[in-house]
Amino acid sequence: MKKVVLFWALILCVFSLLVGGEAFAKAEYEWSFTQPWSRPLSNKGYEFFCDKVKEYSGGRIEIKFYPDGLLGNHDESYHAVQEGSIAIGTFSPYVNLVPGGMLNWMPWTVENFDEARLAYSPAGGILFKVMEDAWEEVGFHVLFNVAQGPYGIANSKRPIRTPEDFKNLKLRVSSSLGFVRCLANMGEGTGMTLETIPWSELYNAMARKVVDGCWTMWPSLVDERHYEVAPYYTDLQFAWDAQNIVMNKKLWDSLPDDLKEAVSKAALEADEYLLQIQEAAQKDYIATLEKQEGFEIIRLTDEERQVFRDKARMSGIWEELCTPWLEKKYPGQNMTQVILDELDRIHEEVAAKKK
């Protein structure tokens, strides 16, 4: 009996060594994935993607994920992926980095997760297709997106219910020119001023009263503690948050077709997974904020939101910022109107399903 037990024990040991050796064999491709912000929920989606790439590539690709700016801030990480020392990163396509980047998130277009699923879908969404071309211009391949939901306005001075409530506020802005032009128009004539400050410095800037407020969203109010320094939040829903997960294009182009298929499959699943967890979490973020003493959420009616939208004068902003790049990229195709028509169609389709 002892000999039989010993025999099977030896067999199991040999099997374990064989399986273990195969499971932990060195991957053909070992990549780094940089995340320059502190966003715990999004990190779950990025880790999901890394795991799926390993699974679908049969272990031939292994990705090590670095969250919370461990490999550098936003612009440092961007340039590292661009030149190839890092394989993958999640970025905001600011126009000083990506000339066509303003199309990723023009205000008063996408308003909710259902619209985002269609407009940003890696499986042919209009904004995904345009941003794919924009990123390729600067040496990247787009994999998928992460959306944290709609933007509102947080500030430390007063509730904002009308454009007149922007009076004399100093608000932080970024290099997202569509956002900047939109906010400037909405606050025109109120004495509001705008100051460019890196997102990573935003909390301290509001805490020190360098600025009175900023555009922000439910996750950042909680995870990045904006609610502590800006206790009035107007749920304006004037723009949609979307960062792009991209990789070095030369690296992408060098992959065999079967590995491109594996990465693309993982990316499509990660895109939907992130939408699901972000949408589910939004209710929790709101519930958390509603419990914070001294924090006020200002919810607007459709009619009140329309006043801000009208004052934004978005058609002129599209003509100024988007049309020149689109005409150069897609000559003679009238892409500004093509995009706007498709976004209108998506809005109507989603609205009809909710009736």
Residue 157's nearest CA partner among 188, 189, 198, 190 is 190
Q: Output the pLDDT for position 22.
A: 47
Give, in degrees to the nearest 5, the angle at Cα 235 between 231 and 236. 125
For the chain, the domain total comes to 1
| Rounded percentage of the chain residues whose pLDDT exceeds 90 | 88
Residue 14 lies in a domain: no
Cα gap 98→78, rounded to integer Å: 10
- pLDDT band for position 132 (cuts 50, 70, 90): very high
pLDDT in tens, 264-278: 999 999 999 999 999
Counting Cα atoms < 13 Å in the Cβ hemisphere of 122 gives: 23
Structural domain for 245, as ranges: 28-354
| Within-domain flag for 37 | yes
Q: What is the pLDDT of residues 282-313, one digit of tens each?
A: 999 999 999 999 999 999 999 999 999 999 99
Does residue 18 form part of some domain? no
Residues 48, 46: Cα–Cα separation, whole Å? 5
The answer to whether residue 66 sits within a structural domain is: yes
Task: Tell me, yes or no, whether 19 lies in a domain.
Answer: no
Judge whether 23 lies within some domain. no
Does residue 1 lie in a domain region? no
**Domain of residue 50, CATH code:** 3.40.190.170
108 in any annotated domain: yes
Partnered with residue 140 across adjacent β-strands are 248
